[in-house]
Structure 1
């Protein structure tokens, strides 16, 4: 019997969400059917199919019993093309280079600190990687030379060939958490008022105080991993912070300006707020101010990444105007 790996999944759709639903119909051939449309009912799920052009249709909804549900994925309100996914992933790759970077066909192979996935994985960034075979021989040789495990970056749609590689040997790979990539346009940003007594600043490089606050998924990073954060990138970096009147740093973020497909992106990550200053809106204020900084630097769009199960993080970024763009995950060969 063929083992099936978990697929991208969004939980708890709401009335009005645009979704794709994969359902299993045992008596049908093929067994799988997909429905793309807008949610008009819950318990059971009812989806009104999408009409041509992406607008809601006027047809009756399709009721989908729980036992047929296999995948429910919340889609962006707008249509996302494969080229849009690729553009965001290319901009991200430029913001998180490895210490060693080589190409195998349309795959960018990066080797860095060996810890963070973004700088230690092979990414399908070429225009035909959604259709071409994965160059596994070259990828395995590269990571063996750098004494690192083989790690594949698998975005939705453009990463289908990589997903097939992993699915063919499910016991040989470990899948990381599903990561939600969220985006927004930077035109027409609203003015931002900082909480009383705080100042905003962006530096070209982080100091020890900034680095001391940063954690990756709740854990402090070793010095070599922290050093990679400020390594030269294909673009511009900014290390943002909020400070008290006494000069104490109470919130930080790393921002980057990179380009792809003739588009300029602000990417920001590493959002941290000092424990004594949490639940005061500092994360929201810092995120809003770094968007203005990105717009001033020429970026027209912004993106960020958050683990899909991090409801607090998704909620914060939604308040800042971000919506789901696509999802990706990493697969590491374990044998």
Structure 2
């Protein structure tokens, strides 16, 4: 395939696991025939680098797994150019369970354990999503036994047992009969990414790979769980944070001032063709001024540069303000899920 290294260039491996989330070009050794090496190049986002395996996600969404021992060269490369008026690619056809698996990678728990096709997740109690059993597929044991395992696993960690499941789950009726209470009704919405690229730009939007103290202060949901919160919000295949300070939101200054609490924040996680938008928060005094759409536009352009073509987000069903905003941006309902607890 076409490469990003010239034939006469010196081969150097100039990337490390700290470059996860960046766009890279890597060359690997395929074989040596009669003393002549054959190489292949891969360009995409460095999705992970664990246990001697490097994963690079191409613009097509395909993830290429490369043994670290096969790498002969690698470097960080500029993002692909963003084209305004890009062709609208339809949202991929996925089931609720498949999209929930993708979403789980974008909001990763600190600790996980498998129970058949269920995933038990814990993060010191920071958010239900990161501290619930994702009920996708079969648990591998009868339901009541699975629920007993879930309850023990969470109570051992001092947490309330929660199960997250789509509204269409075959287990919903049985959980009703067993008295597991329902809460946290949430709708997952999807949209083609291309139209979001044309959202208006705004001076002062700051993008970064890590959330600073001001971003976390504006998020307002960390409480006493700041350490766990930082691990969860920073996790994911390719994470971006956006902020716009209160004063700059009105004056159009160039950057968020040091120590200033942002008037608006947002977060996006790129995972192949998908990008999650989340943590979109606007201070009450700055609402209805287009800050949320400006942040989402900036994040969308970064996601598109990394190969995303489809967006998704999660909103509680009683959040009418968020629903109105996302309606205007072209998001439609994909599925709904909720939580159960004993």
Counterpart mapping for 1:178-193 below 5 A:
178-187=185-194, 189-193=196-200
Match of 1:269 in 2: 278
Distance in 2, matches of 1:80 and 1:220, equals 37
1:269 aligns to what SS in structure 2? strand
C-alpha displacement of 1:276: 3.1
Q: Note if contact 1:287-1:320 (Cα within 8 Å) is conserved in structure 2.
A: no
2:95 aligns to what SS in structure 1? helix
The yes-or-no answer on 1:305 pairing with 2:305 is no
The yes-or-no answer on 1:256 pairing with 2:264 is no
The yes-or-no answer on 1:174 pairing with 2:206 is no
The yes-or-no answer on 1:296 pairing with 2:296 is no
The yes-or-no answer on 1:152 pairing with 2:155 is no
Q: CA offsets per residue over residues 248-304 of structure 1, 9 Å max, x none?
A: 333111111225xxxx31011111123332221111222232222221121121111
2:204 aligns to what SS in structure 1? strand
- RMSD of aligned alpha carbons: 2.8
Distance 1:155 1:282, change over 3 A: same
Q: How many residues align?
A: 241
Q: Note if contact 2:187-2:316 (Cα within 8 Å) is conserved in structure 1.
A: yes
2:113 aligns to what SS in structure 1? strand
Distance 1:316 1:328, change over 3 A: same
The yes-or-no answer on 1:247 pairing with 2:258 is no
The yes-or-no answer on 1:207 pairing with 2:212 is yes
The yes-or-no answer on 1:100 pairing with 2:111 is yes
- Structure 2: state its 5+ residue gaps: 1-89, 257-261
TM-score, length basis structure 1: 0.65
- Structure 1: state its 5+ residue gaps: 1-77
C-alpha displacement of 1:150: 1.2
Distance in 2, matches of 1:209 and 1:133, equals 44
1:178 aligns to what SS in structure 2? strand
TM-score, length basis structure 2: 0.64
The yes-or-no answer on 1:164 pairing with 2:173 is yes
The yes-or-no answer on 1:110 pairing with 2:125 is no
Distance 1:315 1:221, change over 3 A: farther
